[in-house]
Structure 1
Amino acid sequence: MKKNVVFGFLGNVLDQRSKGKRRWRQWRPTIDLCHQSDLPLTRFELLYYQNDYHLLCEVIKDIKILSPQTEVRPIVVNIDDPWDFEQVYTCLFDISKNYSFNPEQEEYYLHITTGTHVAQICWFLLAESRYYPAKLLQMSPPSKKEIMEKNYNLEEADLIAQVPYGKMNIIDLNLHRYDKILTRFQQYAIQATDLLKSGIATRNPQFNQLIAEIEQVASRSHAPILLCGPTGAGKSFLAKQIYLLKHTNHQINGQFVEINCATLRGDSAMSTLFGHVKGAFTGANLARTGLLKNADGGLLFLDEIGELGLDEQAMLLKAIEEKQFYPFGSDKPIQSDFQLIAGTNKDLKLAIANGEFREDLFARINLWSYQLPSLAERKEDIEPNIDYELARYAKQYGIMPRFNQQSRRAYLAFATSQDALWQGNFRELNSSIIRMATLAPQANITLEQVEKEILRLKQNWGKHKSDDSLIPLEIDEFDRFQLEKVIEICQKSSCLSEAGRRLFAVSRTKKQRSNDADRLKKYLAKFGLSWQLIHQL
């Protein structure tokens, strides 16, 4: 069995009740702890203040009488003010750093009954952070009835045998050992992921796993998050839901600030992000705060961060790392503590290689990076998203549009087929539902409307269909069939990297290093083709 070791303060009030043999009639928590049969103590690391030295000697003597097997190790603490949190925490922290813990052979407890409330709080924090690999131990006195039933008209030796026993409660801060608490954790995690998905019952296992991890990161971290994926894949939507989750949990109290970096150019980019002082440039007649300051205490979402200029990238990196920046034209720094979520449909590693994106900024925002799949890669999630879009339309316009069984089956069959390219992803699905809902007579979406909408979508995608003119005439049939499929996937993808990921999804896992975009580029080059040429037609 492991040896039991307790850390605790000598109680200069609770451990000092009476003198002489009368002391055995009083409940003293430190003494009581040492003769609990359920927890035989091997060692007591007893912390005391220098002024309590005489009390320490008396308590040690009484412990030896009641529990001769317990070794008491006095530790004098140099704390001027036991109610000063910084002093107490620093003292207990230093003790832990200099102590040789041996968890394999010893079980540790922190006695929180004695000492000031500040000391009790510090014990809790140090146990929770595992600086002390220990459980908390709380003693409570026996009832008055139990004390009154004792016969105290005895000699001291007989009184010792009747020392009042209190109750001992051990608190393990490993919360996963408590079934009810663990159940509450699981319920919260389900509610949190449900919030991130806005209640949409998504079915794609990879996407659900991705959202589950994002929930953990959003709940536990303030570090930047990078959301990658094609336009319309839901980066902005997810960023807003992360903000709602953190705001609901009281982790942030500022506002959600969003900007598409592709709209920022020249001096206006600096001014929009970092603000400017009056007269900073021509036309700057008034000072401007800037979005980074507006996001102080909240969340800043920079969509299409790959479109930022290099100067803005440098200033953004400084703002993230130092929580301060200089407005355009000012030499006085502005403080702002915000969480950053960045979105991009660019291959930022390729942008770094081309000198278009700073490698140090990428390293800073790439701690938590997630690739959001396109709608075409989540066909099983189309149906629940249709229901979500219908409900959103009803909330906005006060009319609940509905499919009949036949029209719903027809639309779903097309939406989940290979013919549905969904180039605009969820944004395009939203537009499609809005068109049908708006034109639906008495809010009933008919089969005729669905057929018209399918025709409209096919016409919109017509220019993206595979063009035989791209394929060289003198080519083996084997290569032709393969090349046709590659061109089709390229036309369905928003960028070279996305097409590469879809084409080389399996082989990528077997390589230590992979560059899907480069592999695809070289393959197309063998037939005199390029990404730009495919998308020009």
Structure 2
Amino acid sequence: MNIMFGLFDPELDGGDLSGRLNQWRPTLSLLSHVDLPVSRLELLVQRGHLEMAQAAIAEMAVCSPETRIVCHTIHFQDPWDFEEVFAVLHDIVEDYPFDPDKADYFAHMSAGTHVARICLFLLCESRLLPGRMLQTYPADAYGQGAEAGWRTIDLTLARYDRLAQRFERRKARGEQFLKSGIATENPAFNRMIDEIETVAIASQHPILLTGPTGAGKSVLAQRIYELKHQRHQLTGAFVPVNCATLRGDAAMSTLFGHGKGAFTGAINVREGLLKTADQGLLLLDEIGELGPEEQAMLLTALEKGRFYPIGSDREVSSDFQLIAGSNRDLRIEVRAGRFREDLLARINLWHFDLPGLRERSEDITPNIVFELDKFASRNGRQVNFNREAMQRYLDFAHSPSAMWRGNFRDLNASVTRMATLAGSGRIDTQIVEREISRLEWSWIREQPIAPESFLDQLLPSDTIDQLDLFDRLQLEQVVKVCLKCVSLSEAGRRLFGVSRTHKTSINDSDRLRKYLARFGLDWGAVHSGRHPD
């Protein structure tokens, strides 16, 4: 038994019947094929077309007297509104008493608006309508004198899987593009890039990228822009801004523009970078450096898409996507009153925390190869490591002595220096040893010094008085290590460097978090220098 679901099309199925006797009508054609007996037709008719449909149904009854035609009245305020059309069709299908063991179901795709047909496809594809899609076509539609006919649209899993594989390959290319073509081996980072690729393509909302300096936030932001631009999702420019370089009136003018005569020296009208980013992508790196006024105006621009340039009474509109970058924990900045909570809520819909190099130690080797290839492209000569030199450098790079305070910037600069010094095209152990000394010296000079009374800033005096000397000295050393590290996981690796090698399940971050919690502390409190409220 064949049961059809179809939409009555007033243009194709209805109209002046006297003038359409020789014209192809899809729903009437559906019932005229000897090789496709239809037991029941569930005909969906817009409320305003009922009278026209009744005349057509009378013709259908003559054409196929064995078919029971059931007319369902539906109503779309706007037949081109995808959400409304899908909801109406979904409700009909959801309430229908399907019995696939006793009947074969079909969705007729040749009548109705394009939106309605798409919705029928989605209902079939999701198996909410447990049937096949069916298309009818007029005589000679495919040339060679073919008669009017019908065919089902194949949704077999084999073909569907092949299509899915094509999309997966394209998705994989997108992920590799975001990683600059570097074959990273860190599972957590790869999962994050996978999600970023999905979000970048599917969402226009702000993205917040956090992580230590040199983790690659700016490079990733530009890659996201290029990926979206390739897919024609953005037509405007990529506008990068380092907010740490913006100060005072110049910050407001640079971001939002100004009118002529807005302040001393404002001789001409200035557009501002938010306007420059219209239809494109604006990167506000180190967004936590913005002052209170800039934060307030940025929030308005994000929420309304409009803002007033400095000294102007005329609003400017700009439709841009925002990527914000920060090496600070903006939640701590909010608690300290330095960052607006409502602005953080607005830019924090999608938040990705980029790990530092020490948290992605598996990716040191791929990045070395990548930097050597970049060097060869820029300088026209290929440089490689001797085997012993490479092993020595990797042993150091993975050791606790390698602080990588600048993360991938440190690594990139290090490889560039060694390649430059390798006049013969080979980096030997002598070059590596000199580079290791250079790195260690620079990290010692940059090492932050904890104040003498830092525990007094972290803990109430009565709590400190109740600590044994052993616990106090131990806590002081733990906090010192934390202050030298850019993340909880890096500090955990240093503190538990020996015991972690004897564990089958390693969670250094959780061990350190629990230790700090014994004293009422957390990672944010240690780095902000005050006890949490």
What TM-score do the two structures reach when normalised by structure 1?
A: 0.78
Please give the residue correspondences for 1:386-465 in structure 2 after superposition, counting only pairs within 5 Å: 386-463=368-445
Q: 1:520 to 1:148 in 2, by over 3 A?
A: closer
Q: Specify the SS of the correspondent of 1:384.
A: helix
Instruction: Output the CA distance in 1 between the equivalents of 2:158 and 2:351.
Output: 28
Could you report, residue by residue, the CA deviation over 1:365-423 in whole angstroms, capped at 9, with x for unpaired residues?
A: 11100111111111110110111111112222222222111111111111111110000
Give the structure 1 partner of residue 42 of structure 2.
Answer: 43
Q: Is the 8 A contact 2:209 2:353 kept in 1?
A: yes
Instruction: Output the CA distance in 1 between the equivalents of 2:276 and 2:262.
Output: 19
Q: Equivalent of 2:522, from 509, 514, 519?
A: 519
Please give the residue correspondences for 1:75-224 in structure 2 after superposition, counting only pairs within 5 Å: 75=73, 88-89=79-80, 93=84, 96-97=87-88, 100-102=92-94, 105-106=97-98, 111-114=108-111, 119=113, 121-127=114-120, 137-141=134-138, 166-170=149-153, 178-224=160-206
Give unmatched runs, 5+ long, in structure 1: 79-85, 150-163, 525-529
Q: 1:114 to 1:100 in 2, by over 3 A?
A: closer
Instruction: Output the CA distance in 2 between the equivalents of 1:516 and 1:380.
Output: 34
Could you report, residue by residue, the CA deviation over 1:157-202 in whole angstroms, capped at 9, with x for unpaired residues?
A: xxxxxxx872132376x99971221011110111000000010000
Give the structure 1 partner of residue 463 of structure 2.
Answer: none
Q: Specify the SS of the correspondent of 2:259.
A: coil
Instruction: Output the CA distance in 2 between the equivalents of 1:278 and 1:419.
Output: 56
Q: Is the 8 A contact 1:17 1:28 kept in 2?
A: no
Instruction: Output the CA distance in 1 between the equivalents of 2:493 and 2:329.
Output: 11
Could you report, residue by residue, the CA deviation over 1:465-490 in whole angstroms, capped at 9, with x for unpaired residues?
A: 79999799x98778767754553343
AA aligned opposite 2:522? R
Q: Is the 8 A contact 2:43 2:69 kept in 1?
A: yes
Q: Is the 8 A contact 1:301 1:343 kept in 2?
A: yes
Instruction: Output the CA distance in 2 between the equivalents of 1:144 and 1:333.
Output: 55
Q: Specify the SS of the correspondent of 1:441.
A: coil
Please give the residue correspondences for 1:253-402 in structure 2 after superposition, counting only pairs within 5 Å: 253-402=235-384
Instruction: Output the CA distance in 2 between the equivalents of 1:215 and 1:91.
Output: 26
Please give the residue correspondences for 1:444-523 in structure 2 after superposition, counting only pairs within 5 Å: 444-463=426-445, 484=477, 486-493=479-486, 505-506=509-510, 518-520=521-523
Give the structure 2 partner of residue 58 of structure 1.
Answer: 58
Give the fraction of aligned pairs with identical amino acids, expressed as a percent.
41
Instruction: Output the CA distance in 2 between the equivalents of 1:137 and 1:287.
Output: 61
Pairwise CA distance, 1:327: 0.8
Instruction: Output the CA distance in 1 between the equivalents of 2:254 and 2:380.
Output: 36
Instruction: Output the CA distance in 2 between the equivalents of 1:224 and 1:186.
Output: 25
Q: Specify the SS of the correspondent of 1:219.
A: helix
Q: Is the 8 A contact 2:13 2:26 kept in 1?
A: no
Could you report, residue by residue, the CA deviation over 1:282-326 in whole angstroms, capped at 9, with x for unpaired residues?
A: 111121111111111111000000111111111111111211111
Q: Is the 8 A contact 1:137 1:171 kept in 2?
A: no
Instruction: Output the CA distance in 2 between the equivalents of 1:44 and 1:516.
Output: 71
Pairwise CA distance, 1:143: 6.6
Instruction: Output the CA distance in 2 between the equivalents of 1:175 and 1:318.
Output: 48
Pairwise CA distance, 1:26: 8.8
Q: Equivalent of 2:28, from 10, 26, 31?
A: 31
Instruction: Output the CA distance in 2 between the equivalents of 1:88 and 1:452.
Output: 72
Q: Specify the SS of the correspondent of 1:493.
A: coil
Q: 1:87 to 1:38 in 2, by over 3 A?
A: same
Q: 1:274 to 1:518 in 2, by over 3 A?
A: farther
Please give the residue correspondences for 1:225-240 in structure 2 after superposition, counting only pairs within 5 Å: 225-240=207-222
Could you report, residue by residue, the CA deviation over 1:414-457 in whole angstroms, capped at 9, with x for unpaired residues?
A: 11111100001011111111211222223322211100000111
Could you report, residue by residue, the CA deviation over 1:118-170 in whole angstroms, capped at 9, with x for unpaired residues?
A: x2x2224544676996675421246799x999xxxxxxxxxxxxxx8721323
* Alignment coverage as a number of residue pairs: 491
